[in-house]
Amino acid sequence: MKIKTAVISVLCVGLASVLPAHAVTSRVGAAQDLGLGVELGQPMGVTAKYWLSSTTAVDGFMGYHFNSNFDAHADYLWHSFSSFDVQSGRMPFYLGLGGRINLGNSSDFGMRLPLGLSYLFPNDALEAYAEVAPVVKLLKHIGVDIDGAVGLRLYVNYLK
């Protein structure tokens, strides 16, 4: 477990080191924005998000699930920017529909229903988020599971 913590720490420090030294005027949340980052929780690993429009996006994830499985999931997300009024930046609530596959000791496939909250920073190409995703397991181990994580994405198309 110490090795996994060290790897995640190195990824976070590496992500922070590529941040621009000056403020970037951010339009994060526009069509064709691509964010890459890390996700910590259940599961933990690397994440990507691609905005299809100002309110829809797809996200993907690959990493480690605590039940000793490789975890991969992808979701289609709908964002609402009218739920929270913040002084700077933007804070959309989102919900989605997707799929998850675990490969390893207890392999399974399931349907994800993510619910989350993002903060899109006003002057930087960053998104911080927290989400909970109930999972309906559809194959081998039929039942219900839940994923929950926090993450940070850097939007690469805004880097100069």
Neighbours of 157 (CB within 10 A): 13
d(CA 90, CA 50): 17
Give the ranges where 18-147 is alpha helix by DSSP (H): none
pLDDT (average), residues 117-125: 92
Write out the E strands in the chain. 34-42, 44-51, 56-65, 69-80, 93-104, 108-112, 115-120, 126-137, 143-155
Model pLDDT for residues 55-113, shown as the tens digit of each residue: 999 999 999 987 778 999 999 999 998 877 788 889 999 999 999 998 887 788 999 99
Q: What's the pLDDT at 27? A: 67
